[in-house]
Amino acid sequence: MIKQFGDLTWWSDFQTQINSDDQFASSAKYFNVRVGIKTPEGSWTIDARDGKVVSVQPGLSLTGDDIVLIGPDSEWNRILDGKTDWFEATSPGLGQLTFEGNMVAALRNIKPMWRLLMAMSKAGKAPAVPGPFSPDPVPSGREILGKYVDVKGLRAHYEEAGQGQPIVCIHAACQDTLMYRHVLDGLSDSYRVISIDAPGHGKSAEPKTGPLNHISQFAEFNENFMEALGLENPIIIGCSMGGNMVLELGARRPNFYAGIVSCEGADYTPTVSPFFLEMLNLNAPQILECWSQSLTGYRTPADRAREVVWQIIRIAPEYAAGDLTGYAGFDKRDVVGTIKAPVLLLRGDADWLVPQAMVEETSSRIPGSRVEVLAGTGHYPMIENPVEFNQAIRSFADSLAK
């Protein structure tokens, strides 16, 4: 049996932790629920009422728990040790936590569910000391211009700064040009840096057919965008959905790009469940708020962590679902080997969604590619750790000119 679950003192501390959590209190104010915890050797019921955990009892409720979380001891120990959380533990192929009962209620109230497991990871321990954090960027003062261009009849917005070799930045799911603001600011001394809003994102117009839901559709849009700007042999950078996309772009036009940087990307990413995608249409703001925090690294200071959340929750729910449907269905393992351009696969080591093994497997299929890791950085490296991110991009881009 997991020793913490058999310890009344530990449960008391858990209750203290969760009942002092303002985020739990505010998000669970109208979420009255019994949450069952089930291991191979025992079970417990957490009763939450009016934003507080009022009791924890051994066994499952005789009248039935609303939601039951089920996992092997190994997964519960990872949760208790703070090595995983709700999002990773319930992601297909990444975690071993399942749940029964009112699953819709669980995802409609994802924040209190997530905070419950967070409190478990803190119970019985001294408060963690934050930091050390990644360095703050120093603004260059260079002008960043916002512009529009017609891309096959769609009014597309982009930002650019600097002159010289073009670097085209493709944002992650649910985001826009703001994701690369530190890159435009930091690399425009030597490069023409361009960041584009995908259709229906940021200031780009909505497609007449509605949200795109396949990365190949986004790839075609970006090809047409680069053609509209008359770009030749650009370096392309993408993050997450964009990190996958730049690999597809490289395979579609093997000799066109000067270099490719796939950040938090891979050639096969089946790690978002269909149920999660469906629930985005019902509760995208809260799901994305918590998911993005889960994916943020431990060297990210509070202001940049908040910026990650603020940027991602502005997306319309149907566009969030479309983006992540494309991400979940992405599989280009059979074509990435045709890429001819130099490829850098860059990831933060605190990003559980794109683990090191996934990136290394991708690299093994792309001749000459290399992997670089940013310590303590999560899924949004250009926001979380812009100084070290820009250093990595500059080093790669400079090497292409030699």
- The helix/strand count (H/E) of the chain reads as 15, 13
> Residue range 151-157: average pLDDT?
98
CA-nearest of 64, 77, 15 to 36 is 64
**In the predicted structure, residue 63 carries a pLDDT above the cut 90:** no
| pLDDT of amino acid 139 | 86
Give CA–CA dist 346/84, Å, rounded.
22
Class of the CATH-defined domain 145-400:
alpha beta
Q: In whole numbers, what is the pLDDT of the chain averaged over residues?
A: 96
Any residues with CB less than 8 A from the CB of 130 and at least 6 apart, and which?
298
> Residue range 280-304: average pLDDT?
97
- Angle separating helix axes 110-122 and 8-19, nearest 10 degrees: 130
pLDDT tier at 282, thresholds 50, 70, 90: very high
| pLDDT of amino acid 80 | 97
pLDDT tier at 1, thresholds 50, 70, 90: confident
pLDDT tier at 314, thresholds 50, 70, 90: very high
CA-nearest of 195, 175, 169, 182 to 136 is 182
Q: What is the pLDDT of residues 5-19, one digit of tens each?
A: 999 999 999 999 999
DSSP string computed for 96-135: --EEEE-HHHHHHTHHHHHHHHHHHHHTTSPPPPP-PPPP
Cβ neighbourhood burial of 303 (10 Å; 0-12, 13-18, 19+): exposed
Give CA–CA dist 219/98, Å, rounded.
34
Give per-residue burial for 98-128: e unless 16+ CB within 10 Å, then b: ebebeeeebbbbbbbbbbbbbbbbbbbeeee
> Residue range 83-112: average pLDDT?
96
> Residue range 115-126: average pLDDT?
97
pLDDT tier at 53, thresholds 50, 70, 90: very high
Give CA–CA dist 158/176, Å, rounded.
9
| pLDDT of amino acid 359 | 98
Could you tell me what percent of the chain has a pLDDT over 90? 95
| pLDDT of amino acid 141 | 86
pLDDT tier at 131, thresholds 50, 70, 90: confident
Inter-residue contact 184 to 161 (CB < 8 Å) = yes
The dihedral sign for the CA sequence 156, 159, 164, 165: negative
The dihedral sign for the CA sequence 196, 198, 203, 204: positive
In the chain, CATH 3.40.50.1820 covers 145-400
Give CA–CA dist 267/365, Å, rounded.
9
Give CA–CA dist 35/279, Å, rounded.
20
Report residue 294 CA to chain centroid gap: 8
Any residues with CB less than 8 A from the CB of 91 and at least 6 apart, and which?
271, 272, 273, 353
**In the predicted structure, residue 264 carries a pLDDT above the cut 80:** yes
**In the predicted structure, residue 62 carries a pLDDT above the cut 90:** no
CA-nearest of 116, 120, 140, 93 to 27 is 116
| pLDDT of amino acid 110 | 97
| pLDDT of amino acid 15 | 97
| pLDDT of amino acid 369 | 98
Q: Which two tokens stand for residue 81?
A: 């040790």
**In the predicted structure, residue 65 carries a pLDDT above the cut 90:** no
> Residue range 44-62: average pLDDT?
93
348: enclosing H helix or E strand: strand 343-348
Give CA–CA dist 294/352, Å, rounded.
9
| pLDDT of amino acid 13 | 97
In the chain, CATH 3.30.1050.10 covers 3-122
| pLDDT of amino acid 401 | 86
Q: Which CATH superfamily includes the segment(s) 3-122?
A: SCP2 sterol-binding domain (3.30.1050.10)
> Residue range 327-331: average pLDDT?
98
> Residue range 156-182: average pLDDT?
98
| pLDDT of amino acid 158 | 98
Give CA–CA dist 261/240, Å, rounded.
11
**In the predicted structure, residue 402 carries a pLDDT above the cut 80:** no
| Cis peptide bond prior to 40, omega within 30° of 0 | no
Q: What is the pLDDT of residues 250-259, one digit of tens each?
A: 999 999 999 9
Cα separations in angstroms, 381 against 134, 295, 296, 372, 390: 10, 10, 9, 12, 9
